[in-house]
Amino acid sequence: MTDQIFPEPTVGVFIFNPSGEMLLVKSHKWPGKYVVPGGHVELGERIEEAAIREAKEETGLDVYDLKFILFQQFVYDTSFWKKRHFIFFDYACKTDSLAVELNDEAQEHVWVEPEAALRLPLDTYTRTALERIIAKK
Domain ranges of the chain: 8-135
Could you tell me the end-to-end alpha-carbon distance of the chain, in angstroms, rounded to an integer? Answer: 42
- Regarding pTM above 0.85, the answer is yes
Q: With CA atoms as reference, report the closest residue to 18 among 88, 123, 115, 111.
A: 111
pLDDT of residue 77: 66
pLDDT of residue 74: 86
The rounded radius of gyration (Å) of the Cα atoms in the chain is: 14
| Residue range 60-100, pLDDT digits in tens | 999 999 999 999 998 776 777 778 888 999 999 999 998 89
pLDDT of residue 84: 80
As a whole number, mean pLDDT of residues 117-126 equals 95
Contacts 24+ apart (CB under 8 A), 3-9: 4/84, 4/85, 7/75, 7/85, 7/86, 7/87, 8/40, 8/84, 8/85, 8/86, 8/87, 9/40, 9/41, 9/47, 9/86, 9/87, 9/89
- At the topology level, CATH places domain 8-135 in Nucleoside Triphosphate Pyrophosphohydrolase (3.90.79)
